[in-house]
Amino acid sequence: MVQEQKGRWFSSTETYGFLLLVSLFAIFPFIWMVSTSLKTEAEAFRVPPTWIPLKPNVDAYISMWVKKSFGLYFLNSTIISLFTAVLSTFFGALAGYGFSRFFFKGRRFLIGFFLATQMLPGVLLVGPYFKILSKLGLYDTRTGLVIAFLTICLPFSTWMMKGFIDRVPDVLDQAALVDGCSRFGVFFRVILPISAPGMVATIIFAFLLAWGDLLWVICLTSTESMITVTLGIARTVGEFQIMWPMLMAGALLGGMPAIILYLLLQRLLVQGMTAGAVKE
Q: Which residues ranging from 50 to 89 are in contact with another protein (CB under 8 A)? A: 51
**Residue 244 interacts with another protein (CB under 8 A): yes or no:** yes
Size of the site for another protein (CB under 8 A): 112
Answer yes or no whether residue 98 interacts with another protein by CB under 8 A.
yes
- Rounded distance between C-alpha atoms, residue 272 and residue 91, angstroms: 17
By CB under 8 A, tell whether 268 contacts another protein. Answer: no
At how many degrees (to 10) do helices 70-101 and 244-277 cross?
0
How far lies 243's CA from each of 38, 40, 42, 189, 240, in Å?
12, 10, 10, 53, 10
Assess 195 for contact with another protein (CB under 8 A).
Answer: no
Instruction: Give the x-and-dash track for 99-138 against another protein (CB under 8 A).
Output: x-xxxx--xx-xxxxxxxxxxxxxxxxxxxxxxx------
**Taking CB under 8 A as the rule, does residue 144 contact another protein?**
no
Q: Which residues have C-beta within 8 Å of that of residue 278, sequence separation ≥ 6?
A: none
Does position 219 interact with another protein (CB under 8 A)? The reply is yes
| Most distant CA atoms of the chain, gap in Å | 76
The CA distance from 150 to 210, in Å, is: 9
Minimum distance between the CB of residue 168 and another protein, rounded to whole angstroms?
13
* In contact, 39 and 245? CB cutoff 8 Å: yes
* 3-state SS assignment for residue 58: coil
224 binds another protein (CB under 8 A): no
Enumerate residues 153-192 that contact another protein by CB under 8 A. Answer: 154-155, 158, 162, 170, 174, 177, 183-184, 187
Per CB under 8 A, the segment of 7-15, 54-62, 64-72, 194-202 that binds another protein is 7-15
- In the complex, least distance from residue 178 CB atom to another protein, rounded to whole angstroms: 9
Closer of 26 and 223 to another protein (Cβ):
26
CA distance 117 to 105: 20
Distance (Å, rounded) from C-alpha 60 to C-alpha 42? 12
